Amino acid sequence: MRLRQRLGVEWLAVAALASCVVAALSFWDSVSPFDNLVYDQLSAIDRPAPPTDIMIVEIDEDSLAAYGKWPWPRYRHAELLEQLAVGNPKAIGFDILLSEAGDRDDDAALARAMANASKLFLPLHFVVPGSNGADYDVALPIKPLEQAADGLGHVNLPLDTDGVVRRAALCVGDKSSGSDWPHLMEMLYRSVEGHPSPAYQRLADCDQMLLMPFARRGAYQSIPFAALASGEVPAAFLDDKILLVGATANGLGDQYPVPLGDGGTLAGVEIMANLYSAMVRDDFIVPLSRIPQLALSLLPLWILLIGFWRWTPRTTIIVSFGLILMILLCSALLLKFSFWFAPGAALLGVILVYPVWGWRRLQATSDFMDSELQQFDRSKIDIPIMRSELGPVDLITGQAERLTHAISHVRDLRRFISDALRNLPDPMFITDLDGKVIFVNQLAQAGMEDGPHDLALDDMLQRFVSANDLESVKDYLDLKSRPAKNDYVEFTSYHGEIFAMRRAPVMSNDGILKGHIHYLADITEMAHAAELREEVLQLLSHDMRAPQAAILALLDGKDEDEFIGRIKRHARHTLALADNFVGLARIDSSEFSGEDILLSELVAEASDGLWPLCKARNIRCEIDDQSDGAFVNGEPSSLYRSFVNLIDNAIKYSPDGGVVTILIRVTELDRQSFVSVAIADQGKGISEQMLGQLFERFASDDVMARSSIKGAGLGLNFVAKVMERHGGNIRGENRRDGGACFTVLLPLAADVQEQID
């Protein structure tokens, strides 16, 4: 395998493998721990400031010391709510689960306090897995409290794979059908703003998680539960505040790891405060969907893969580090615009592809060099130039010396071939793909004192080709006029010699075109012989035909007796022989030049031309045209002569008073449409010994003929040659009811064929 192909295959394999690895890492979040680490560091650069109207009512260590261990009797919560109702807050989020019944009196007191509070919302939570095969069960507050509250919202916090709370689910359930449970903070937002949050409205479904931007720890205003419940806090302090009531004491189990960079935990109620703040600011960080994430992950990988073909190793390693930095900067920039691009898969793709490609490229190059040197040793041409043998050395030096020896041998071979070409007996020159002459031998260099240098092909042609033939030679070289049989062009030089010019491609060992070799063979003597041959044909076609035509002209006006009729038949036979012989000779030496012909009209014309023969023997020619005006592409003169020969044969072998039938129709063979012409007579048919050689030259079966003129066996051979020249064929056979039938198939003209298709 050539090195370029091998490297191409290796590159495709590395590209496919690296792309699949990056896609798999992106799809399965396999590098999420690293992505989370990068996110935590980047999100700490610019933490948002908390809103001033959010206040946390903490169940802290001081409150536990004042009221005793948790859980407290529910009248304690009623006391708090009574104080909150006096303060006129905007809304209250009570982040304490109340799904189990307590003391009946306490529950009733708490329900009354909740009913008196304005815009109070309670939490619900989900039990996973649910009962009876359900995904989850909904745990609601007890009925009296649920009825007293203004609304319910879930407070579940999804954890990432490393157990850290970074994301929030704004709803749980089926959002499209309206049967979802919004988050508790979403319910508070709706009660304050009067409409769902923009982030909620943009959600496609409840499975979409949004990253929360966290304020610094302790940034939100807070007040102890016990201080507020005991009336130590003035009511005006709570006016127009959004109050979030929840546990902050470490022993209550409502602490979660968060991405604040200090390794500590954060109380659930403070996480709720950050969630509500993100709703107000509408700055949730949206993770990129799979398609943009995958595209951005693959982009640096493919930049590097494409660069492998263009850059030097030094540039490639610099670009690799630049791409790593670019990936991190892209992630940080998108985070600034509230989008999260996880960079782990992209970074790993760049880090992996560079050494893997370097290894495969080095291996491919090493294998290629070893293979090429072995092949060179096996196939090198022995030329009469002596070189010293290589001595024993270490392996690396030996490989270097082998390469040096191979290069020297190629140089010697180049000189050997150059010397051989310069001494060819005919002019020869070589051009590159731009048409510049790069080599000439001695005969072609005649008159050039300093060699061809930058001589253009047109200038070289003007040195050899006469002005009359220059255009035809250029057309040949431009592929505008290529002979069908002989790939060369003839021209006359300024000195009267006749040359045959042939162009051959110069190909590299890999099959790549590099230029052309132009051979000029002196065919002056052959051309003169061809002119003599043409003169002989002219003699046959004109000088020998003219006396026969004159004889017929003289006899046409005479009263015809048997003697005159015999002279006429012999004269016509001589004309037919001359026409067939000349036609055969010119078919082999001329180019095909066709035109669209209405075949039925041409056959009718050939039949009409033989009317005198039919009349003489009372024979009718009946034409059944079923071709619907079918055209063929052909040469009118040779086709006309062919059908004249076939119809003349049918008349010749028919009995007096007989009928020659000609059926013309369109048929299909091997999915190609043909025009079929079947010419049948009522004679005795073709003898068995002649069926296999009907179309051979000089084959004749005159035993069955009704004419006294014997054939020379050129007519059917001429017809077969014409049909072959037109891409068709002819067959002859005996009919069951007597007589012979010749069927001609000619391809339908191209434009008609396209209409049929």
SS (HEC) of 378-440: HHCCCCCCCCCCCCCCCHHHHHHHHHHHHHHHHHHHHHHHHHHHHCCCCCEEEEECCCEEEEE
According to DSSP, the β-strands at 437-440 and 137-139 are unpaired
pLDDT at 130: 81
Burial of 691 (0-12, 13-18, 19+ CB in 10 A): middle
Least confident of 58-72, 578-592, 720-734: 578-592
What fold is seen in the domain 593-756?
A: Heat Shock Protein 90 (3.30.565)
pLDDT at 712: 40
pLDDT at 252: 84
User: Are the C-beta atoms of residues 214 and 260 closer than 8 Å to each other?
Assistant: yes
CA distance 716 to 580: 9
Beta bridge partners of 183: 154
Percent with pLDDT over 70 in the chain: 82
Confidence check: pLDDT of 555 > 50: yes
User: Are the C-beta atoms of residues 43 and 212 closer than 8 Å to each other?
Assistant: no
Most confident of 200-204, 493-497, 539-543: 200-204
Which two tokens mark 503? 């162009």
pLDDT at 389: 55
Least confident of 96-110, 224-238, 264-278, 508-522: 508-522
- Taking all residues of the chain, what is their mean pLDDT, rounded to a whole number? 82
Q: Locate the domains of the chain by residue range.
A: 3-42+288-370, 49-282, 382-422, 423-522, 593-756
Least confident of 43-57, 697-711, 734-748: 697-711
Which two tokens mark 37? 């680490």
Q: What is the residue type of 29?
A: D
- 238 DSSP 8-state letter: G
User: What's the mean pLDDT in 704-708?
Assistant: 47
User: What's the mean pLDDT in 451-465?
Assistant: 74
As a residue count, the chain comes to: 757
CA distance 187 to 90: 13
pLDDT tens column, 277-299? 999 999 999 999 889 999 999 99
More confident residue, 486 or 16: 16
> According to CATH, what is the number of the domain 423-522?
3.30.450.20
Confidence check: pLDDT of 711 > 50: no
pLDDT tens column, 664-674? 999 988 888 99
pLDDT at 535: 54
More confident residue, 347 or 471: 347
Confidence check: pLDDT of 510 > 60: yes
CA distance 207 to 289: 13
Burial of 309 (0-12, 13-18, 19+ CB in 10 A): exposed
Quick one: pLDDT band at residue 395, thresholds 50, 70, 90? low
Confidence check: pLDDT of 107 > 80: yes
CA distance 719 to 587: 11
Confidence check: pLDDT of 530 > 80: no
CA distance 258 to 158: 12
Q: Taking the CA of residue 538 as centre, how many other CA atoms within 13 Å lie in the half-sphere pointing to its CB?
A: 6
CA distance 746 to 732: 15
From 436, 509, 471, 501, select the one nearest 5 (Cα to Cα).
Answer: 509
Quick one: pLDDT band at residue 179, thresholds 50, 70, 90? confident
User: What's the mean pLDDT in 476-481?
Assistant: 70
**CA distances from residue 521 to 348, 430, 437, 464, 488 in whole angstroms, order as listed:** 66, 15, 18, 12, 10
pLDDT at 142: 92
Confidence check: pLDDT of 399 > 60: no
- 737 DSSP 8-state letter: T
With a CB cutoff of 8 Å and minimum separation 6, the contacts of 306 are none
User: What's the mean pLDDT in 428-448?
Assistant: 77
Beta bridge partners of 492: 498
Confidence check: pLDDT of 225 > 60: yes
φ, ψ (nearest 5 deg) of residue 623: -105, 120
User: Are the C-beta atoms of residues 316 and 303 closer than 8 Å to each other?
Assistant: no
Q: What is the pTM of this model?
A: 0.53
User: What's the mean pLDDT in 252-280?
Assistant: 90
More confident residue, 210 or 701: 210
Quick one: pLDDT band at residue 247, thresholds 50, 70, 90? very high
User: What's the mean pLDDT in 124-136?
Assistant: 83
More confident residue, 446 or 715: 715
| Phi-psi label, residue 240: left if phi above 0, alpha if psi -120 to 50, beta otherwise | left
Which two tokens mark 211? 């990253």
Confidence check: pLDDT of 708 > 50: no
pLDDT at 277: 95
CA distance 682 to 357: 82
**CA distances from residue 159 to 209, 211, 333 in whole angstroms, order as listed:** 11, 11, 25
User: What's the mean pLDDT in 328-343?
Assistant: 93
More confident residue, 382 or 53: 53
pLDDT at 508: 80
pLDDT at 538: 53
Confidence check: pLDDT of 246 > 70: yes
Query: Do the domains 593-756 and 423-522 match in fold?
Result: no
pLDDT at 710: 43
pLDDT tens column, 358-385? 888 877 777 777 777 777 666 655 555 5
Confidence check: pLDDT of 516 > 80: yes
More confident residue, 635 or 529: 635
Which two tokens mark 334? 């998108």
Quick one: pLDDT band at residue 4, thresholds 50, 70, 90? confident
Which contacts qualify for 571-574: CB closer than 8 Å, 24 or more apart? 572/548, 573/709, 574/544, 574/548
CA quadruple 287, 293, 296, 299: dihedral, nearest 10? 170
